[in-house]
Amino acid sequence: MKVIYESKDDSVKKLAEGIAEAMQGIDCIDLQNGAYVESIADGELVFLGSGGSFMGCGKSTKEFIKKLAASGKKVRIVLFGSSFIKNSAVNAMRKTAEKQGLKPMGDSYNCKGRFLFLNAGHPNSKDINSAKNLAIRLTKN
Ligand SMILES: Cc1cc2nc3c(=O)[nH]c(=O)nc-3n(C[C@H](O)[C@H](O)[C@H](O)COP(=O)(O)O)c2cc1C
């Protein structure tokens, strides 16, 4: 199990680190530092996060999704993110993944994201807890 994320201004990073902590300190990998598809095992659960960006998700996230799809590995993906427009980060990631033939899990988490001075203060501790709770719920049993 891993958390892999892209974060321009640390919003998604806060959610990512919350999920990793809730999962007892699993690897939490910033795509900017290189997230290698080779390090992902067949059948592994990956929490994949990005912010909404120019009506899509992050560029590194798109590239990662393409590489993951090309690897042919059957990875279970849980999407999370933050965006100004409601759910747009997760929706954009899902669209990108499905275009590549991947099928992320239906459950996902997208909180409000900052845009200029709007939504300042998000993700707040409640948002981070919601992301943690989703991870806990999906991994119990
Ligand atoms: C240059 C720029 C473009 C953005 N484009 C979008 C967008 O198209 N849709 C959206 O919902 N939010 C957009 N946002 C808001 C971000 O998704 C939001 O701030 C998010 O929390 C960023 O997370 P991060 O800082 O961890 O990458 C944009 C923000 C910036 C700075």
Letter string b/e over residues 53-67, b meaning 16 or more CB atoms within 10 A of that residue's CB = beebbbebbbebbbe
> Which two three-digit tokens encode residue 105?
């899990």
87-127: per-residue pLDDT in tens? 999 999 999 999 999 999 999 999 999 999 999 999 999 99
> What pTM did the predictor assign?
0.97
Ligand 1 neighbour 54 (Cβ under 6 A): yes
Percent of the chain surpassing pLDDT 70: 99
Ligand 1 centroid to 140 CA: how many Å? 31
34 pLDDT higher than 90: no
Nearest Cα neighbor of 15 from 120, 4, 59 is 4
Residue 84 near ligand 1, beta carbon < 6 Å = yes
Domain count, the chain: 1
**Nearest Cα residue to 67 out of 101, 17, 105, 16:** 101
Tell me, rounded to whole angstroms, the distance of Cα 109 from its chain centroid.
8
100 CA to middle of ligand 1, Å? 23
Q: Which CATH number belongs to the domain containing residue 132 in this structure?
A: 3.40.50.360
